[in-house]
Chain A
Amino acid sequence: EADIYQTPRYLVIGTGKKITLECSQTMGHDKMYWYQQDPGMELHLIHYSYGVNSTEKGDLSSESTVSRIRTEHFPLTLESARPSHTSQYLCASRLAGSGEQFFGPGTRLTVL
């Protein structure tokens, strides 16, 4: 069973607020990912990391930023939330050399 955690699970905030979505994994995986998923739609990669101090942007343009200071921790930050940021955010990780990614439970963000 994958040990990957996301907090908060649900978040409702007002426009203009700064927020950080947390993601932690205890499997020692070096590769971590953030996806955005709208209802009935595909997952879209917004950020990924090969390891500590490595971050890259994914395919979907995003106004969020990420950091990777520790192997187990990959937080995502929105400096100024807008209603267009309303979505489900999914964190995933995998071990280098294996293809399958393991996902956290997700954070459902609503920006009013």
Chain B
Amino acid sequence: EDQVTQSPEALRLQEGESSSLNCSYTVSGLRGLFWYRQDPGKGPEFLFTLYSAGEEKEKERLKATLTKKESFLHITAPKPEDSATYLCAVQALQGGSEKLVFGKGTKLTVNP
């Protein structure tokens, strides 16, 4: 069964204190791994797609990396506006699979 586990569940950082969020996955062939940001009471906002081990994507203070078993979301010098829940999801490489399997997310709080 496809599974996604995110850690830690919650993370508190001081502004400027860099850190990483982890997404471990078990999937029967990876079609894609997705990172989303979700603010309270809103829908997830798409951040990155990663397709193969070794791939990296960057956007402002965020950088996502992928290995064969996990992905990391690195946050460099975070600001209070980076506070949100970060979701990881995988899509399996099964013929015609429409399913994204989501983790529970990491709730990030950045204090000024």
Identify the A interface with B (CB < 8 A): 2, 6, 31, 33, 40-43, 45, 48, 50, 56, 58-59, 90-92, 99-106, 108
Stretch from B18-26, B39-47, B58-66, B69-77 contacting the other chain: B39-47
20 pairs, A vs B, C-beta closer than 8 Å: A2-B46, A41-B104, A42-B102, A42-B104, A43-B89, A48-B98, A56-B98, A90-B43, A91-B43, A99-B31, A99-B34, A99-B91, A100-B49, A103-B43, A103-B44, A104-B43, A105-B43, A106-B41, A106-B42, A108-B41
Chain A residues positioned under 8 Å from B100 (CB to CB):
43, 45, 101
Given A40-B105, A42-B103, A43-B102, 11 more contacts at CB 8 Å? A43-B89, A90-B43, A90-B44, A91-B43, A99-B32, A100-B49, A101-B34, A103-B36, A103-B43, A105-B43, A106-B43
Chain B residues positioned under 8 Å from A45 (CB to CB):
98-100
Which residue of chain B has its CB nearest to the CB of A59?
Answer: B99
Identify the B interface with A (CB < 8 A): 4, 31-32, 34, 36, 41-46, 49, 87, 89, 91, 98-100, 102-105
10 closest A-B pairs by beta carbon, nearest first, are: A103-B43, A99-B32, A42-B102, A43-B102, A103-B44, A106-B43, A105-B43, A100-B46, A90-B43, A104-B43
Chain B residues positioned under 8 Å from A99 (CB to CB):
31-32, 34, 49, 91
Which residue of chain A has its CB nearest to the CB of B35?
Answer: A100
What is the bound-complex CA distance between A20 and B96, given in angstroms?
29
Chain A residues positioned under 8 Å from B44 (CB to CB):
43, 90, 103
Chain A residues positioned under 8 Å from B91 (CB to CB):
99
Which residue of chain B has its CB nearest to the CB of A90?
Answer: B43
Set B42, B49, B98: member contacting A105, Cβ < 8 A: B42
Q: How far is the CB of A45 from chain B (nearest CB, A)?
A: 6
Set B42, B46, B98: member contacting A31, Cβ < 8 A: B98
